[in-house]
């Protein structure tokens, strides 16, 4: 029984990239940004490209104005649509898929990346007090 749980643990580490690389190897190096800071960046001189990695049906719950929609499921085949010389702020519903997406970007040579901490949930909470980019 103990061997089974050891095996399960190793399989889990491998599948999330924690042992041999993969997206998990890059996740620790991805800076996060909170909703208020992203809002400030968007109204600045060099605003980031905002990348929504949710599925199209999820956008009915709201989006960040001006965001580019490329679902995580098709991100690797659409990398050529994204600039490598501009900051990319990645978001999803809660921040988990966007962290994976940011790791994929980093693994493909993108260096100017940040993950919206809390995702659309955090953005929506911010919108209760500010309507600038909501």
- Measured CA distances, 115 to 9, 42, 93, 112 (Å): 27, 14, 12, 11
38-70 pLDDT, tens digit per residue, is 999 999 999 999 999 999 999 998 999 999 999
**Predicted local confidence at residue 79, as pLDDT:** 98
Quote the CA–CA distance of 31 and 132 in Å, as a whole number: 23
- With cut-offs at 50, 70 and 90, classify the pLDDT of residue 110: very high
Query: Is 35 a residue whose pLDDT tops 90?
Result: yes
127 is catalytic: no
Q: Count of CB atoms within 10 A of residue 70's CB?
A: 20
Average pLDDT, the chain: 83
Can you tell me the mean pLDDT for 103-112? 96
Domains of the chain, start order: 21-127 (3.40.250.10)
Can you tell me the mean pLDDT for 104-129? 91
Question: What Rg value do the Cα atoms of the chain yield, rounded?
Answer: 16
Partners of 33 in beta bridges: 116
């Amino acid at each position: 029984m103990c061997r089974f749980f050891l095996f399960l643990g190793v399989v889990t580490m491998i599948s999330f990239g924690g042992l041999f690389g993969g997206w998990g190897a890059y996740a620790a190096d991805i800076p996060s940004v909170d909703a208020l800071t992203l809002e400030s960046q968007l109204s600045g001189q060099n605003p980031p490209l905002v990348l929504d990695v949710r599925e199209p049906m999820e956008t009915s719950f709201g989006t960040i104005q001006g965001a580019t929609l490329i679902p995580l499921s098709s991100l690797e085949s659409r990398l050529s649509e994204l600039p490598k010389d501009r900051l990319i702020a990645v978001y999803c519903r809660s921040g988990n898929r966007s962290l994976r997406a940011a790791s994929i970007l980093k693994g493909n040579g993108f260096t100017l990346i940040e993950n919206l901490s809390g995702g659309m949930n955090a953005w929506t909470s911010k919108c209760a007090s500010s309507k600038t980019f909501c």
